[in-house]
Amino acid sequence: MKKASYGIDAPRVVLNLGLFGFAALVIAVLGYDFHIGRVVVQHKSFYLPAALLLAETALMIDYSVRAKYRHRDKMLRRIDWRGDEQVLDVGTGRGLLLIGAAKHLTTGHAIGIDIWSKKDLSDNRLERTQSNIEIEGVAAKCELRNEPAQNMTFKDATFDVVLSNLCLHNIPDRAERNRACAEIARVLKPGGKLVITDLINTLDYIREFRKAGLKVDLHGLNPFLRIIYAEKPATSQ
């Protein structure tokens, strides 16, 4: 029986951290001292960076294979599900959050958008996401679209719930990230809720959501991830 697979997040970062950590460990163990001009860099000094780099590699792999499932569940518990919601997952990747949301739906519908960049997630492609949706048995409740967060084609006030996990920081330009936040606020219905998690830039997101009239709350999940919970007022201010 086929099993859904959700990949390794930031695979290039994981690979580079692991390689540099292993190289530093080899230098430390083999006892090779570096001479930079008159300065001698002793091999023992490589133990600490090796430990830090390899520990970060292990943490990132652990998140991809285990912790992100718990993190998804924490995000989804922020919503009081009725079952009839229209849901948008921004930066759906291989569908972990989208599929989790779809399992809370009865008559509702969930749409995942992405540009499917492989640098952000291993084997990141629409076909792989569609396969996961079918394996998880939620194909009738899900739809995938290839479009960027900062230029959505949805009408205003389309969604009851907007979700996004570790997506917006991948937009390199600050103005474009702000535009993505404005788009998220635009497509959210009055009374709708959003739950967004990211590593960085969360204070910028909060500012943009508040500028759009949303009521925002910020929660710390762990030293690295922050979760933003916001609601759009049911009536215009």
pLDDT digits (tens, 9 = 90+) for 62-84: 888 888 999 999 999 999 999 99
Q: What whole-number distance in Å separates Cα of residue 192 and Cα of residue 231? A: 6
pLDDT digits (tens, 9 = 90+) for 6-47: 888 888 999 999 999 998 888 888 876 666 666 556 767 878
Q: How many CA atoms lie within 13 A of 107 on its CB side?
A: 2
pLDDT digits (tens, 9 = 90+) for 83-121: 999 999 999 999 999 999 999 999 999 999 999 988 888
Determine the average pLDDT of the residues in 122-142: 94
Residue 237: which pLDDT band, with cuts at 50, 70 and 90? very low
Contact 65, 82 (CB under 8 A): no
Domain boundaries, the chain: 11-69, 70-231
DSSP for 46-96, written as a single string: GHHHHHHHHHHHHHHHHIIIIIHHHHHHHHHTTS---S--EEEEET-TTSH
Number of Cβ within 10 Å of residue 69's Cβ equals 13
pLDDT of residue 220: 62
Q: What whole-number distance in Å separates Cα of residue 28 and Cα of residue 46? A: 5
In order of 47, 65, 120, 127, 175, the CA distances from 165 in angstroms are 34, 16, 12, 20, 19
Q: What whole-number distance in Å separates Cα of residue 219 and Cα of residue 196? A: 10
pLDDT of residue 123: 85
Superfamily classification of domain 70-231: Vaccinia Virus protein VP39 (3.40.50.150)
